[in-house]
């Protein structure tokens, strides 16, 4: 029997979100909540994942399947028929979870649960002979969280929801984080007789803790101090506030490491981003995913960078968008430039105003200064691209490649109809449409002869 699986609870509607989108598909740091969680689970090296889906399940399933397309995880979806709480979700998952010795249960809507915490829980659980491990936090403001109730020997005996607390229980500041690891056999025994509670008559997974305790089971806690790790936002306002705190923490941390963050409150930088010292980040800059920024760079304002590498001494000017690309040393991009995926720019290259680069290599010292589209292109060194130049890479069926060799000069308003090769030091006259290869060191002009005639109609 495989030893472990992860059970993700992702069936909720999220009524207070006031949205038609399933709760776990709302975005946080430019990704759906459930994808952020899956990326962390991926690093736990647990290959078996069970996901409980409910409201608009087909959308959640589609997003997860696309994420897993090339990863090879064994993902099983359980369609929760009765949306009556976390306990009911686990009951309806029993057929799947019984295949595993241990089950790691995580809510799909806690975007800031850290990999460090998840790994710590697994290590703690594996090192102790226990039946259940609960993630908890000690906080000054307990809000509406359930509390951890302990017996006289400090052993966990129950989790009590906020609206059921009595007397001194209300003074307890250890809260339930909603993340658990169970011995599957013990869990299945503990959920057999769950009773509906509250106005909504829901079945609470937390009641399984008390049942395990009463049966003589051993329960432990993994305590953290950062409440944000276990925060599951219930409204768009809460989601936005949590995201703001997250970005602020990331900006402050980078500032402490030698990055000049001009406005931490208006910087949107993922926790996975790496930025070297002496780089300046101007306001309203968004840097997401696994981006890496070198030293002595100037980024922004109003720049978006996704999963890209910016080498040392680069300048990314305002209103530029760079996705899944590499900008090499000393290059300048922008303002108003769009660098699309699989592009490789520089070193010492320039991409200027309103130029778009797609899946292209721009060589050392080459320039695409303004108003051009360069797609599926291999460009050599010190090439100069005139304004309004287009590589016509798509024939309606297939994409084709344009090669522009070093030293070529492409006149303004030129159309390069791929597949086509422009030779070294070739010169293309402005306004040309080039459909054949141009040899090295040649001048090519491809435009209609200018004709001047008398006007037939007077103005």
pLDDT tens, 264-320?
999 999 999 999 999 999 999 999 999 999 999 999 999 999 999 999 999 999 999
Q: Say how far residue 351 (Cα) sits from the centre of its chain.
A: 26
pLDDT of residue 2: 59
pLDDT of residue 165: 87
What pairs with residue 433 in β-bridges? Answer: 415
> Is the pLDDT reported for residue 378 higher than 50?
yes
Q: Say how far residue 304 (Cα) sits from the centre of its chain.
A: 14
Average pLDDT over residues 259-266: 97
Contact partners, residue 6, CB within 8 Å, separation at least 6: 41, 44, 46, 48, 49, 50, 103, 104, 105, 106
pLDDT cut 70: percent of the chain above it:
99
Q: Model confidence at 215, in pLDDT bands (50, 70, 90)? A: very high
Average pLDDT over residues 335-339: 98
Instruction: Report the C-alpha gap between 300 and 310 in whole angstroms.
Output: 13
Q: Which two tokens stand for residue 195?
A: 């009773």
pLDDT of residue 144: 86
Least confident of 50-59, 155-164, 194-203: 194-203
DSSP 267-292: EEE-TT-EE-TT-EE-TTEEEETT-E
Mean of the per-residue pLDDT values of the chain: 95
pLDDT of residue 101: 96
| 439 phi/psi in degrees, rounded to 5 | -65, 170
pLDDT of residue 45: 87
pLDDT of residue 10: 95
Instruction: Report the C-alpha gap between 53 and 7 in whole angstroms.
Output: 11
pLDDT of residue 1: 46
Which residue out of 26, 286, 338, 370 is catalytically annotated?
370
**Annotation says 400 is catalytic:** no
pLDDT of residue 202: 87
Minimal CA–CA distance to 401: which of 340, 358, 438?
Answer: 358
pLDDT of residue 205: 94
* Angular region, 18: left φ>0, alpha ψ -120 to 50, beta rest: left
| 304 phi/psi in degrees, rounded to 5 | -120, 125
Measuring CA to CA, how many Å separate 334 from each of 25, 126, 267, 317? Answer: 33, 52, 19, 5
> Is the pLDDT reported for residue 459 higher than 60?
no
pLDDT tens, 68-121?
999 999 999 999 988 888 999 999 999 999 999 999 999 999 999 999 999 999
Burial class (CB in 10 A: 0-12, 13-18, 19+), 3: exposed
| Cβ neighbour number for residue 262 with a 10 Å cutoff | 16
Instruction: Report the C-alpha gap between 437 and 403 in whole angstroms.
Output: 9
User: Which residue has tokens 């850290």?
Assistant: 114
Query: How far separated are the first and last CA of the chain, in Å rounded?
Result: 90
């Amino acid at each position: 029997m495989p030893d472990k699986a992860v059970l993700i609870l992702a069936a909720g509607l999220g009524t207070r979100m006031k949205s038609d989108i399933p709760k776990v598909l709302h975005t946080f740091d430019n990704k759906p909540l459930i994808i952020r969680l899956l990326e962390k689970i991926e690093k736990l090296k647990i290959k078996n994942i069970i996901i409980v889906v409910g409201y608009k399940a087909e959308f959640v399933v589609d997003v997860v399947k696309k994420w897993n397309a090339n990863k090879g995880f064994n993902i099983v979806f359980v369609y929760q028929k009765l949306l009556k709480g976390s306990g009911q979700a686990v009951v309806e998952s029993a057929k799947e979870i019984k295949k595993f010795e241990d089950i790691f249960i995580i809510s799909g809507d806690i975007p800031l649960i850290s990999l460090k915490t998840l790994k710590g829980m697994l290590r703690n659980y594996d090192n102790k002979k226990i039946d259940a491990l609960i993630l908890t936090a000690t906080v000054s403001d307990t809000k509406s969280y359930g509390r951890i109730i302990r017996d006289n020997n400090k052993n966990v005996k129950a989790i009590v929801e906020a609206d059921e607390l009595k007397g001194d229980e209300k003074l307890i500041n250890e809260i339930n984080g909603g993340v658990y690891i169970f011995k599957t056999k013990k869990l299945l025994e503990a959920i057999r007789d769950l009773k509906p509670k509250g106005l909504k008559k829901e079945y609470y997974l937390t009641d399984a803790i008390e049942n395990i305790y009463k049966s003589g089971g051993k329960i432990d806690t993994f305590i953290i101090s950062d409440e944000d790790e276990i925060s599951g936002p219930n409204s768009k306002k809460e989601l936005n506030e949590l995201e703001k705190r997250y970005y602020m923490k990331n900006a402050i941390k980078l500032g402490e490491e030698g990055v000049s963050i001009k406005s931490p409150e208006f910087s949107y930088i993922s926790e996975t981003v790496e930025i070297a010292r002496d780089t300046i980040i101007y306001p309203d800059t968004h840097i997401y995913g696994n981006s890496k920024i070198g030293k002595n760079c100037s980024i922004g304002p109003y720049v978006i960078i996704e999963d890209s590498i910016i080498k040392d001494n680069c300048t990314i000017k305002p209103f530029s968008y760079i996705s899944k690309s590499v900008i090499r040393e000393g290059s300048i991009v922008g303002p108003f430039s769009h660098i699309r995926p699989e592009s490789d720019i520089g070193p010492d290259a320039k991409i200027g105003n309103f130029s778009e680069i797609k899946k292209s290599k721009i060589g050392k010292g080459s320039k695409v200064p303004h108003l051009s589209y360069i797609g599926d292109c291999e460009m050599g060194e010190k090439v100069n691209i005139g304004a309004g130049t287009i590589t016509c890479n798509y024939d309606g069926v297939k994409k084709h490649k344009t090669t522009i060799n070093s030293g070529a000069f492409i006149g303004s308003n030129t159309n390069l109809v791929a597949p086509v090769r422009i030779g070294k030091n070739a010169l293309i006259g402005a306004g040309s449409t080039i459909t054949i290869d141009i040899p090295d060191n040649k001048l090519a002009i491809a435009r209609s002869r200018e004709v001047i005639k008398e006007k037939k109609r007077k103005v």
